[in-house]
Structure 1
Amino acid sequence: MLNLEQRIKIAGVKVSPFQYIDGRRVLSKATFLNFSPIDGSILCEMSAADQSDVDAAVQAAYRAFPEWAALGSTGRGEYLRRLADIIEANAEKIAQVETADNGSLLAANLHFMVKRSAHNIRFFADWAEKLQGEGWDSNGIRYKVHYDPSGVTALITPWNAPFMLTTWKVGPALAAGNPIVIKPPEWAPLTCSLLADFAEEAGIPPGVINIVQGIGEVAGAELVNHPLVNRISFTGSTDTAKIIGSAAAKRIVPVSMELGGKSPFIIFADADMDAAVSHALAQFNNAGQVCLAGTRLLVEESIEKEFLEKFSQRAKQLKLGDPRQKEIRVGPLISQEHFDRVSGFVERAKREGAKPLFGGGPSKEQGGLFFEPTLFIDVPKDAEILKKEVFGPVLTFQTFKDEEEAIRMGNDTDYGLAATVFTGEETRGERVGQKLRAGTVWVNTYYARDLKAPFGGSKQSGIGREGGTHSFDFFCDVKTLSHKMGSFYH
């Protein structure tokens, strides 16, 4: 008989390959193989959830709801702060497993992603305690706003930063009083399994956190269609979001979706060139597998030559290789399927007439799933590479004549997740930022995210906003209690 306490060793860390439902590990009928993108080796065989597993997880969350909600924000906060402490204490383990599982840089995971994960949990635990009690008097009526837990919540998370982006959802959902069912990405499920162990160590009651591993078309579909799910938070592709949205619409279930992007990175002639180049290079972070990346470089005509020379010189110094090594800046793509997708975009761009100034194909030196950082110039205006999200280390370069054209080109996309502007003129930064259609606009910086700020996308990049009070606007049923002043006699 299979031992459900069995752990597999990933980078020296013991990880469970089984589902986590109602406070215990559960064996499913089916399994799927999990590969490391670093060398293509099989990491483990994971338990794959089916309809019965998903139903058991949702039912467990449903049963846990009254007790978890009744704790109040202060009671829940005690559990969540313990969870954050445990995450910090296990930072090295989490970073090692994440790197092995999705090929992201070990240094980035250790020094940023895991720290941010613990902060996500603590921040929303603190914020929930500040929410209750907002009130005012008007025309003899006293109004008070309540943030009530909404119930069982489905969290569907992506593979490019699975642990950190899962905690971004887990923090506010649990702080709001909702038990959760997490569907981790099948291409990188291991750190979410660790999260279950940490939750157990923190003493979080059974059923409050459930994790169903498996294929999106099975486990994910069963989860979003389950009649007891009251909220769905999804981060991933726009195509998948349309399927989830259709399922949610049938039951009028609120959804929050952070989706893809084709963001502009606009550089004016008066910008600090060195700063602009440095931040533009950051668009190759995580092998370009970042939804917020400014993949369309838009540069003022007068500085075209200077920018291309400096950017190319520094980009060619980026080292590809094993993401566990400190000097490496670009790791592998997540899977063979995704590698083929990125390669297809690049080859079609070449056929359409775009020219790679550098890169332009798989890394001959590294082989495997490593793709060279690529910059296309002379890109035809209607080329696919300008329109669709590649999600790889592939950027395009275009020039603009003036501010008006920069704004027009920046907005010439079906997406609207983010935008970046570099300029030496403060009023221009504000002016251009206001006219760009994007959920987040950075001026003279990149990837700055304060958890108080609303985050989400416009157009095809998403629905809704999360962050600060905006997260609780989604994860709670917001209620206004109104009563006539002076109407109570006892």
Structure 2
Amino acid sequence: MNRHASVLTRGGEAPATAGRPTALRGARHAVREPIPTYLSYVGGKDIDAEKYVYTVTTRSILDDVFESLTLKRRLEQGRVRPEDAGDLVVGRVALADQETVEEASRAAAEAFREWSRWPQEKRMELGAVLRRRIVEGCDDMVDVLIAEGNPRALAEWQVAGLLETFSEETLSWVGELMHREFEHGGRRLLVRRRPDGVVCVNPPQNAPASSALFGITALMAGNTVVVRAPRSAPFGVMYALREFVVPALEEIGAPPGVLNVVCGRPGPMMRSWLESPYINDILYIGSTENGLTFQEECVRHGKKPVLELAGNDCVVVWRDADLDLAVEALTECFYGSGQICMVPNQVLAHPAIADELLERLSAAVAKLRPGYPDEEGVLLSPVLRSERFFTVVKDALDKGASLVHGARRLEADGSPSDTGLFLEPTVLRVDGMEKCREIEAVRRETFFPLLPVIVPEADTDEALLERFLDYVNSNPYGLRNSVWAGDEQVLGRFEREIDNGGLLKINDSHIGFLPYLPTHGGTGLTGGVFGEANYPMLRTSHLQGVSIARGIRPHQAVFGAYDAVRAARAGATD
């Protein structure tokens, strides 16, 4: 095949199919026959490949998982022709070879010199243009995410987060932090952030498209970017970057090579990035164990690691909390069946309201249902590797926890089954704080629809408040924390004293996005040793100070401050 094949844009629309959203039939940058196809995008050109990764519809997987995954495997092996796949396939993405992966890094390095010279305000135009395009195409984006397996509520939540990431408020505030100027003693002083260089983005399997768009905000700092579309879910990443970001870059006249997108196996590509002389930073989103090991590799190879790892978020529900609203926020644990790092993972409930909270939570959770991702009201996603879920639940029960609700496999229609692909939303009660972290469901992120509610021993409110604060701050993870309470003094203590994590929510949605505030980032096992709130523009740039003097003698510059102090002292003595 031609390694620099041009993208086909034929005149008519492809035939409508049950599994293929309208958005794909109108995609400008996809080869649309026999099925929508995205090629590697390197240096402003499309590069074809000998192999492709196919995305089959989640509906087909739920109807017959064996048939669907067998079809996917045979397509990728070349044993089934794409035109014979019918409407079970959403689309395909070219699988980049090693030469293409290395070419992407070189193209980004070549583009950096020109792109980094652009004025900051000109680069920031990308954010406004991209937001406009997301606003115009948000329904199409939701359709693509649904086709790739996200329930509608989860897809819409991801798009809502993108709209806040690229909001005028957030971009203007972060832009201000990139450049400040002062006048002092006949000098013009600048404190500014300079781009690191080439930034590689490794999105996760659970929310790859929105994570890729989050990562490309590093472009506005003057970096160039290489994105790996994960083999498990590459199509949404390609769609988001090719249909939104590439046209936005073209609109502002960015040089080719500023953005490069390739699909490939994680191990070889990450190794290539580590060893490449062109790469400066790597944004890694994945498990804590793999991420911390990768952090060490980055440091060893002289790369800056920017980590987004697991979360084990804590929600505190105080004795005077609005329980209706608190329960509504706690059910956010089950978005995508808990397979999202920033959902609630554990609850600290004041013993005075614990029984009522659990009763209300159990009733609310019972209404959550599985189903096909395009159906309204579906919140749960399939969990393909569910055996460990039951091991974690058994560990909790063996160590004294009690089952409040759930812990069964479900079919798409909600009926219990020994072979269902869904897990019933599960709530556990854990009595006592002293040994609660001996329970794996409390100690670790589980990535399942599982929420332990910890009820401490009865004590004075003053003592309980101290224990709650210590517990939250001692969480080895540190993504998000939230608290529900009415007492202003209690809320004030949490506001002033919680220093763990990248985000603290008070009487608010745990997973909701807001302008100005970070959507990602955290401390400890979540963000690694360099962890903090993650604004990629800031995390992929570095501070630099500049002094521009006018008529200042070097001697004065060296001793000016000390001379001024001595003169002031002499004047005081006189």
Residue 129 and residue 267 in structure 1: after superposition, are their counterparts in 2 closer, same or farther (change >3 A)? closer
Say whether residues 1:209 and 2:209 are aligned partners.
no
* Alpha-carbon distance between aligned partners in 1 of 2:421 and 2:271, rounded to the nearest angstrom: 29
Name the residue aligned to 1:398: 454
Name the residue aligned to 2:42: 21
Following superposition of structure 1 onto structure 2, how do residues 211-250 of structure 1 map, counting pairs within 5 Å? Answer: 211-250=261-300
Q: Secondary structure at the match of 2:327?
A: helix
Aligned CA RMSD, in angstroms, stands at 2.9
The amino acid of 2:501's aligned partner reads: A
* Alpha-carbon distance between aligned partners in 2 of 1:430 and 1:483, rounded to the nearest angstrom: 44
The amino acid of 2:359's aligned partner reads: E
Name the residue aligned to 1:486: 551
Say whether residues 1:442 and 2:509 are aligned partners.
no
* Alpha-carbon distance between aligned partners in 2 of 1:332 and 1:162, rounded to the nearest angstrom: 17
Note if contact 1:58-1:228 (Cα within 8 Å) is conserved in structure 2.
yes
* Alpha-carbon distance between aligned partners in 1 of 2:445 and 2:225, rounded to the nearest angstrom: 30
Give the drift of 1:431. Answer: 0.7
Name the residue aligned to 1:427: 489
* Alpha-carbon distance between aligned partners in 1 of 2:392 and 2:226, rounded to the nearest angstrom: 35
* Alpha-carbon distance between aligned partners in 1 of 2:487 and 2:167, rounded to the nearest angstrom: 37
Give the drift of 1:125. Answer: 5.3
Name the residue aligned to 1:262: 312
Larger Cα-atom Rg: 2
- Gap regions ≥5 residues in structure 1: none
Note if contact 1:4-1:18 (Cα within 8 Å) is conserved in structure 2.
no
Q: Secondary structure at the match of 1:241?
A: helix
Give the drift of 1:302. Answer: 1.6
Say whether residues 1:149 and 2:170 are aligned partners.
no
Name the residue aligned to 2:152: 106
Cα deviations by residue, 1:402-457 (Å, 9 ceiling, x for unpaired):
21232343345321212111111122112134434222221111234434235521
TM-score relative to the length of structure 2: 0.76
* Alpha-carbon distance between aligned partners in 2 of 1:273 and 1:38, rounded to the nearest angstrom: 36
The match for 1:325 among 331, 350, 375 is 375
Quick one: percent identity of the two aligned structures? 25
Cα deviations by residue, 1:454-480 (Å, 9 ceiling, x for unpaired):
55212111033355xx54332223210
Q: Which is worse superposed, 6-15 or 195-204?
A: 6-15
Cα deviations by residue, 1:321-366 (Å, 9 ceiling, x for unpaired):
1121112232323xx24x3444443344445554322111321455
Residue 162 and residue 175 in structure 1: after superposition, are their counterparts in 2 closer, same or farther (change >3 A)? same
Q: Secondary structure at the match of 1:90?
A: helix
Residue 94 and residue 307 in structure 1: after superposition, are their counterparts in 2 closer, same or farther (change >3 A)? same
Q: Secondary structure at the match of 2:133?
A: helix
Note if contact 1:267-1:298 (Cα within 8 Å) is conserved in structure 2.
yes
* Alpha-carbon distance between aligned partners in 1 of 2:195 and 2:99, rounded to the nearest angstrom: 26
- Gap regions ≥5 residues in structure 2: 26-35, 62-67, 73-88, 459-463, 555-574
Note if contact 2:501-2:522 (Cα within 8 Å) is conserved in structure 1.
yes
Counting matched residue pairs gives: 481
Following superposition of structure 1 onto structure 2, how do residues 117-132 of structure 1 map, counting pairs within 5 Å? Answer: 117-121=162-166, 123=168, 126-127=172-173, 130-131=176-177
Name the residue aligned to 1:464: 531
Q: Secondary structure at the match of 2:352?
A: helix
TM-score relative to the length of structure 1: 0.88
Note if contact 2:161-2:513 (Cα within 8 Å) is conserved in structure 1.
no
Note if contact 1:20-1:210 (Cα within 8 Å) is conserved in structure 2.
yes
The amino acid of 2:46's aligned partner reads: R
The match for 2:207 among 128, 146, 161 is 161
* Alpha-carbon distance between aligned partners in 1 of 2:441 and 2:364, rounded to the nearest angstrom: 23
Q: Which is worse superposed, 114-123 or 262-271?
A: 114-123
Following superposition of structure 1 onto structure 2, how do residues 20-59 of structure 1 map, counting pairs within 5 Å? Answer: 20-40=41-61, 41=68, 42=72, 43=89, 44-59=91-106
Residue 417 and residue 33 in structure 1: after superposition, are their counterparts in 2 closer, same or farther (change >3 A)? same
Cα deviations by residue, 1:360-380 (Å, 9 ceiling, x for unpaired):
132145564311100122477
